[in-house]
Chains A and B, each alone.
Chain A
Amino acid sequence: MIRFEQVHKRYPGGHEALAGVSFELGAGEFAFLTGHSGAGKSSLLRLILLLEHASSGQVLINGRNLGRLHRSQIPHYRRNLGVVLQNHHLLLDRSVYDNVALPLLVSGYRPRDIGRRVRAALDKVGLLTRAGNRPLELSSGEQQRVGIARAVVHTPRILLADEPTGNLDPELSAEIMQLFSAFSDIGVTVLVATHDIGLVGALGKRRLRLSNGRLAAADEEVAVA
């Protein structure tokens, strides 16, 4: 599903964010991406999201080399991804419902299907009663949950999350992880970048540890606490 082959990412100015990273995640696999700040976690996620291109090496998703994807194919590729980013990227002038509905709108879902799916996604993150609110009327944690609902509403093939529980209390963080885990059970590949070692340990999932742009441990299975 996700395959990195000797991927390097160098930014203008010479900083090398990723240096020869290789790993593979199968369909339905759940993995944590850990490492210190600046280790290259976000760069790795941005390569999968096609927000950046690898300087060398190959990123393959479902066997397709992302480096060869035509510009016009990128939106259709991204529709198969769900993404939760640190700064929630919510539209402040739209309601929670409208924000969560965005991936369905761009994919051409009919209004009745959009309504059903959005309500289900908001129900999962406990925000069904806040559907009519604007993001600024919500707490930071609630905004994070709106971002999570938006990431899962279209049942993507790959779910990417960058510090998805950073603003959530431990109980809610665990529930969100259970939700991600349930998605991986139905075949969604989940890759979560996090600092929260406790969270990683609690779920006992595969861990990819980055250090200075290099993969320190590609197949480390964390023992369930």
Chain B
Amino acid sequence: MKKSRSPDGGRRAAPRPGARALRTRWRDRLGAHLDQHRQVAAHSLRRFFATPLQNLATVLVIAIALALPAGLYLLVATVQQLAGSLESANRVTLYLRAEAAPDAIPALRHKLQRHPAVAATTYVSPAEGLAQFKAQSGFGDVLELLDGNPLPPVILVTANASADSAALAAEVGSWPEVDQARLDSQWLARVRAMAALGRQLTLTLAAALALGVLLTVGNTIRLAIENRREEILVLKLVGGTDAFVRRPFLYLGFWYGLSGGVCAWLLLATGRWWLQLPLDRLAALYQARWTIAPVGATALLALAGVAAGLGIAGARLAAGRQMRSIEP
């Protein structure tokens, strides 16, 4: 052991006892505070990765708890988008009388196109209708057994965006060449009502699962605190405040939440990719293109942010009371 120059290393000419930090400038104190945060964040991250398998279970629970309401939200958003696109098409289907003379149909289309509420018309002949039905329904073989084509000629009328499509359907439905005018608005109303219910369900589920995430992180942090009781005692013995002692656990909660959020995003992105293909097939049957709401960078940031916040909150709840009970 070396002989003393001065007790603190001999670098001060006239050393004085006491907490030197009190005399440092606020900028130094802020710098030290940030340094400490960086160190604690890095240290807690190392601890987090030190037991990857143990932590994986917790992270997956968080991820599933977040992915469920987020997935439901995406589903509802997709249904809303779908209903919106169908509604915006504003289409009235005119089933013409089978006995309508073929040369009357162009005149009827011409009459429709001059109507102020009509944006466009499409004529589907019985033969075209039958071909489409064969292609999309899968009943082609059965249709071959029929003596003739049972389908009527059809005109698809697209109303102007500002037009009252129900009034248009009622008006043109009374024309002599038209057997039936159908506005498919009832099922759209059902879809809209279901989407609204889905939104409420999503919110309820999100709240319940957010509570689940808080409890999961809280319980994990409580165990971590118990495992590090000796360290907490020593830190308090040398003057560590509750905030200082609590900080590593808050960062641990943050890492749990953040990784849970990222995993939830991965689950969602994978699920979206998995479902898009069958949805494309379904959309093709309706001659439409439906896309599940995207799971991009914004979703990643939102999920990671919410999850990290829940992680910190869960850790804070768990650490707050327990920390006060551990005294040297």
Which residues of A line the B interface, CB within 8 A?
Answer: 49, 51, 72, 75-81, 83, 89-91, 102-103, 105-111, 113, 116-117, 119-121, 123-126, 150, 152-157, 172, 175, 178-179, 182-183, 186-188
Which A-chain residue is minimally distant from B324 (CB atoms)? A71
**Is B321's CB within 8 Å of the partner chain A?**
no
CB pair B19–A107 under 8 Å, yes or no, is: yes
Chain B, residue nearest A88 (CB): B234
Given contacts A79-B19, A109-B20, A156-B17, 15 further A-B contacts (CB under 8 A): A51-B237, A80-B18, A90-B234, A91-B234, A102-B238, A105-B36, A108-B24, A108-B33, A109-B21, A110-B31, A111-B39, A123-B2, A124-B1, A150-B238, A155-B16
Inter-chain contacts of A110 with B (CB < 8 A): 28, 31-32, 35
Given contacts A108-B29, A155-B7, A179-B7, A75 and B1 within 8 Å (CB-CB):
no
CB atoms of B9 and A78 under 8 A apart: no
- Whether B52 is near chain A, meaning CB under 8 Å from some CB there, is no
Interface residues of B in 310-325 (CB under 8 A from A): none
15 pairs of residues in contact across A and B, judged by CB atoms under 8 Å = A75-B244, A77-B239, A80-B19, A81-B239, A102-B238, A107-B20, A110-B35, A124-B1, A154-B19, A156-B17, A157-B18, A183-B7, A186-B15, A186-B17, A187-B16
Partner of B11, one of A49, A78, A106, A116: A116
Which 10 pairs of residues, A with B, have the shortest CB-CB distance? Answer: A120-B9, A126-B1, A79-B239, A78-B239, A106-B240, A103-B238, A75-B241, A108-B32, A107-B21, A182-B4
- Identity of the chain A residue whose Cβ is nearest the Cβ of B4 in the assembled complex: A182
Q: How far is the CA of A111 from the CA of B17 in the complex (A)?
A: 20
- B192 contacts the other chain (CB 8 A): no
Pairwise interchain contact B10-A120, C-beta atoms closer than 8 A? yes
Q: B231 in the interface, Cβ–Cβ < 8 Å?
A: yes
User: Contact: B241 with A106, CB < 8 Å?
Assistant: yes
CB of A155 within 8 A of CB of B17, answer yes
Answer yes or no: B230 CB below 8 A from chain A CBs.
yes
Partner of B239, one of A107, A125, A175, A188: A107
A106 surroundings in chain B (CB, below 8 A): 235, 238-241, 244
Given the interface contacts A105-B36, A156-B17, A183-B7, does A175 sit within 8 Å of B1 by beta carbon? yes
A103 contacts B239, C-beta separation under 8 Å: yes
Query: Closest A-chain residue to B230, C-beta based?
Result: A91
Cα A106 to Cα B36 in complex, Å, equals: 9
**Alpha-carbon separation in the docked complex, A38 to B61 (Å):** 52
Closest B residue to A51 by beta carbon equals B328
Give the chain B neighbours of A81 by CB distance below 8 A. Answer: 239
Q: What separation, in Å, do the CA atoms of A176 and B230 have in the docked complex?
A: 26
Provide the B97-140 mask, 1 if CB < 8 A to any CB of A, else 0.
00000000000000000000000000000000000000000000
Tell me, yes or no, whether B236 is within 8 Å of chain A by CB: yes
Check: B6 CB closer than 8 A to any chain A CB.
yes
Docked complex Cα distance between A57 and B11 (Å): 41
> Is B141 engaged at the interface, CB distance under 8 Å to the other chain?
no
Q: Hey, which chain B residues are within 8 Å of A103, CB to CB?
A: 238-239
B19, B33, B236 pick with most chain A CB within 10 angstroms: B19
Chain A residues with Cβ below 8 Å from B16 are 155, 186-187
Which residues of B in the span 58-108 have a Cβ within 8 Å of any Cβ on A?
Answer: none
From A104, which residue of chain B is reached at the shortest CB distance? B21
Q: In the complex the two chains form, is B238's CB within 8 Å of A155's CB?
A: no
Taking the closest CB of chain B, its distance from the CB of A113, in whole angstroms, is 8
